[in-house]
């Protein structure tokens, strides 16, 4: 089988994307740890719960939205639960399932952490781009996500178009 190697332009784009994928999570994680005592993934879990109706999601849904295995998510939610930020309870509609709910204390932590996190996102990504580049980045990410997340589970984007 002949491998269709990347040409110079494709390789340049790929190397830059790979560098962003490697560097950005560490930058965001460091800011959240320093300012809020949360890992980036913990913040992401809390943020997903904060946006859900009644700040509650089934653990399976939360795992899908945060791209985690159930064991990894359970471990993180247990730590958040120990800190009083999340509560788990049986799903009323299906006793076999477990729900996770953001507590009032968890909501306060998200509210306190969000401004610093948004500032870090702006400083490291958004403010480096023009409005046209923001639109291009959205289009580029949508094109890639059509292959990686065709159902739009992680972004909630409309896949019916």
86-90 sheet: strands from edge to edge: 56-58, 98-102, 86-90
The pLDDT tens digits of the residues spanning 81-90 come to 999 999 999 9
User: Which tokens in the block code for residue 102?
Assistant: 């953001």
Instruction: Note whether residue 9 is domain-resident.
Output: no
Domain containing 140 equals 28-148
Instruction: State residue 157's pLDDT score.
Output: 57
pLDDT score of 41? 96
Please state, in angstroms and as integers, the Cα–Cα distance from residue 79 to each residue in 84, 133, 150, following that order.
9, 38, 31
Q: Tell me which residues of the chain have a pLDDT lower than 70.
A: 156-161
pLDDT tens, residue by residue, 2-39: 999 999 999 999 999 999 999 999 999 999 999 999 99
Count of Cβ atoms closer than 10 Å to residue 139 Cβ: 10
Maximum distance among all alpha carbons in the chain? 57
- Predicted confidence at residue 154, as pLDDT, reads 84
What are the backbone dihedrals phi and psi of residue 56, each rounded to the nearest 5 degrees, phi first? Answer: -135, 135
Question: Does residue 95 fall inside a structural domain?
Answer: yes
Q: What is the pLDDT of residue 161?
A: 43
Let me know if residue 13 belongs to a domain: no
Number of folded domains that form the chain: 1
Residue 46 in any domain: the answer is: yes
Does residue 16 fall inside a structural domain?
A: no
Taking a C-beta distance cutoff of 8 angstroms, is the pair 36, 43 a contact?
A: yes
Q: What is the pTM of this model?
A: 0.87
| CATH number of domain containing 113 | 1.10.10.10
Write the CB contacts of 116 (distance below 8 Å, at least 6 apart in sequence): 31, 32, 35, 36
Is 138 inside a domain boundary?
yes
Task: Note whether residue 1 is domain-resident.
Answer: no
Domain assignment present for residue 8? The answer is no
């Amino acid at each position: 089988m002949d491998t269709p190697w990347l040409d110079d332009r494709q390789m340049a784009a790929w190397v830059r994307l790979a560098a962003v994928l490697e560097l950005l999570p560490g930058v965001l994680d460091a800011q959240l740890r320093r300012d809020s005592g949360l890992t980036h993934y913990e913040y992401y879990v809390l943020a997903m719960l904060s946006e859900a109706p009644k700040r509650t999601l089934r653990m399976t849904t939360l795992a899908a939205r945060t791209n985690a295995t159930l064991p990894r998510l359970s471990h993180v939610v247990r730590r958040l639960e120990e800190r009083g930020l999340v509560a788990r309870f049986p799903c009323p509609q299906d006793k076999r399932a477990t729900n996770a709910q953001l507590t009032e204390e968890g909501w306060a932590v998200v509210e306190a952490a969000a401004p610093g996190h948004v500032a870090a996102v702006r400083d490291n990504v958004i403010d480096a781009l023009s409005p046209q580049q923001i639109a291009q980045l959205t289009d580029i990410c949508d094109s890639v996500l059509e292959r990686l997340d065709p159902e739009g589970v992680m972004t909630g984007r409309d896949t019916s178009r």
